[in-house]
Structures are given as C-alpha cells and as structure tokens.
Amino acid sequence: MIDPEQLRALSRLRSTLEAFAVAHWRSATDRSGTIRRLRRMLGRLREAATRGDYAAFHAVDIALHRMAVESARLPALLRSWDLVVAELEEWIGRLQREYWPSLMALYREHVFLLDSWCSPDDWMAENATHQHLEAGWHRVAAARGDVRPEIDPVGRATAFMSTHFANRLEMGWIARHVSFVSAVHLTRLFRAKLGISPHQFLRRVRLDRAAQLLRSGGDAVAVIGARVGYRNASHFVRNFRAEFGVTPLAYRRNVPSRSRR
C-alpha cells in the first residue's frame, strides 16, 4: 500500500496531467466530437449512480477521465496518466465506497466538471479539474476532523463558487458536499469571515464576471447574463443595477474604448 504522502503527490500529478490534456484538446478548432463522447460517458455514470453500483461507477469514472486525457492525442501524456492512475486506482475505489454515501452527489460533481470543460473560459476548465481531483482529499480530511487551512469551509465554498458560478448552485448542496458543514453553519462562517452570506458572495462573483464580459466583449446582455448563471435576463439586469448603479447597457456605454480592446 502506498503511503499517504505518496498518494497525495500522485493525485496532484494526475491533476496536472488531466488539466494539461483538457487545455490541449480545448484549443482544437473543433472540440464538439470530444464533448459529445464525454457527455455520453457522463450518461453511463448517471446510470451507475442511480443503481448505487460502486464498482460500475468506478469503472466508468476512470474511463471518462481517461477519455479526456486520450482526447489530447498525445501518446506520451496518456501513458504517463495510465501509470499514475494504476497506482491510485485501488485507493480511488475505496475512497468512493467509504466517503461518498451518495453516488448521485459524486455524479453531480462530474456534471460540474464536464460543464467547466465545455465552458468558453480556459481558466475555469483548469480550476475545475484541480478542484475535482482534490475533492477526495478534502472529504477524507473533513471526516477525520483535520483543520488544515486548505479545507477551510469558507475557502472551499468560495473557490467552488468562483469556478462554477455559471451553474445552478444550491447552498445546501455546497455546504454538504463541498464544505462538509450544514448550510446554517456555512452561512454563519461566511458572515463571520467575509461579512456577507454565501448567496451574496455568489451574486457578487456573477456580477463582477458580467462586468468583465461587458468591458471586453460585444455579446448581448442576455447572453452575458446566461453565461454568468442567470436564467432570467430581467433578474440579471435588476441585480446588476443594484450592484453597479446602472444597467448593463449603460455600464458598457460608459466604459472607455481602451478598456474594450
């Protein structure tokens, strides 16, 4: 059995390899075929999660991640990934069985991951890859009462929301499966540390990103609202005006032309 420090180092190496692979195939002119194949694999993952079949889930999970690496079409990269995962596979399977009582929760983490891989933002895909592959370590540490800084509940939640703000996010789910505390306790921690609630933090992240997109691009307001997580354009405009004092269109008109280059 590999000692814990070696496991952690190998997990970080796997994370680095996958992030590089995803960045490589995302740079391709047409990545739609890769995304379709990954979506189909995600459907198989859901089927295994629905049945509560840990063995099948584990097999499909490994296959999905391998497909993401293979899609980079760099044989040396794939060989390196195969070697690393061969060392980790037994530990990964045990981790899933012992620390994820709900496979549907783990399936949803893969939904967030794949959505980030399909997003228009490279930084989002990279951050999500690292966060996804670190989640197991954080879950184990939280279950054992470890209080190291990197598993701080507020830090975990803010990092997750700052990456996945475009998705539909429920604070109860984030509290349980990202921060490993109750929703009430997470809100209390947010107010003590940041002076705002988790919902307020998420809204601020979304609106700050919307402001960046308004300054740098020409997409329609409704498109930008959807890109940062708003399903209702009027709700987006109302929140934006409350935050910045002007509508998104007025904000864009008032940005100096040099800021949009």
Average pLDDT over residues 4-14: 87
Q: For position 28, what pLDDT does the model report? A: 86
Q: Phi/psi zone of residue 73: left (φ > 0), alpha (ψ -120 to 50 degrees), beta? A: left
d(CA 206, CA 167): 11
Q: What is the pTM of this model?
A: 0.89
- 68-76, long-range: CB within 8 Å, 24+ apart, which pairs? 68/18, 68/21, 68/22, 68/25, 68/34, 68/38, 68/117, 69/17, 69/18, 69/21, 71/21, 71/25, 71/34, 71/37, 71/38, 72/20, 72/21, 72/22, 72/24, 72/25, 73/25, 74/21, 74/24
| Per-residue pLDDT reduced to its tens digit, 126-148 | 999 999 988 887 787 777 776 66
4-144 belongs to which homologous superfamily?
GntR ligand-binding domain-like (1.20.120.530)
Q: For position 1, what pLDDT does the model report? A: 55
Q: What is the DSSP letter of 72?
A: T
Would the pLDDT of 258 be above 50? no
| Per-residue pLDDT reduced to its tens digit, 146-180 | 666 566 899 999 999 999 999 999 999 999 999 98
- Token look-up 């939904």 returns 111
Average pLDDT over residues 200-220: 94
Residue percentage of the chain with pLDDT more than 90? 78
Average pLDDT over residues 24-42: 93
Cβ of 188: how many Cβ atoms within 10 Å? 13
152-261 belongs to which homologous superfamily?
Homeodomain-like (1.10.10.60)
Selection from 133, 175, 135, 185 nearest residue 10 by Cα: 133
Q: For position 260, what pLDDT does the model report? A: 42
CB contact at 8 A, 175 and 185: yes
Q: For position 67, what pLDDT does the model report? A: 97
d(CA 119, CA 125): 7
Q: For position 259, what pLDDT does the model report? A: 44
d(CA 261, CA 248): 18
Q: For position 30, what pLDDT does the model report? A: 86
Q: For position 8, what pLDDT does the model report? A: 84
Would the pLDDT of 182 be above 50? yes
CA of residue 200 relative to chain centroid, distance: 19
Average pLDDT over residues 82-97: 93
Selection from 211, 217, 209, 207 nearest residue 260 by Cα: 217
Q: What is the mean pLDDT of the chain?
A: 91
Average pLDDT over residues 86-97: 91
Q: Per-domain residue ranges for the chain? A: 4-144, 152-261
